[in-house]
C-alpha cells in the first residue's frame, strides 16, 4: 500500500479529511484535489500550524524553497 500523501497525513493529524476541510474553509473535495494536484502555497503555513508541525510546508510543497522564507531577518 502506498504511503498517504502529505495532505492526507495532515487530515489524519486534525481528525480527518472533513475536519481539515472545515478548518481551512474549503470543501472536502478540495482536499482530494490537493492530494492529486498541489496544495496552494499560501495554505501550507496554515496546514503546518494546524498540525503542530507534524506536516511541514516542505512536505506539502517540496518545489518551494521554504528554508529561504523561514530565515528571520536580522
Predicted confidence (pLDDT) per residue in 9-59, tens digit? 999 999 999 999 999 999 999 999 999 999 999 999 999 999 999 999 999
Cβ neighbors of 60 (< 8 A, separation 6 or more) are 6, 7, 10, 39, 43, 44, 47, 48
The 8-class DSSP code of residue 4 comes to: P
Please state the pTM of the whole predicted model. 0.88
Domain 6-70 is found in CATH 1.10.260.40: yes
- Would you kindly state where each structural domain of the chain is located, as residue ranges? 6-70
Amino acid at each position: 500500500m502506498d504511503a498517504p500523501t502529505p495532505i492526507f497525513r495532515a487530515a489524519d493529524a486534525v481528525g480527518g479529511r472533513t475536519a481539515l476541510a472545515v478548518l481551512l474553509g474549503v470543501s472536502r473535495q478540495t482536499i482530494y484535489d490537493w492530494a492529486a494536484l498541489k496544495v496552494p502555497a499560501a495554505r501550507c503555513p496554515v496546514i503546518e500550524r494546524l498540525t503542530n508541525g507534524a506536516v511541514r510546508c516542505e512536505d506539502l510543497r517540496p518545489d518551494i524553497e521554504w528554508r529561504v522564507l523561514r530565515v528571520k531577518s536580522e
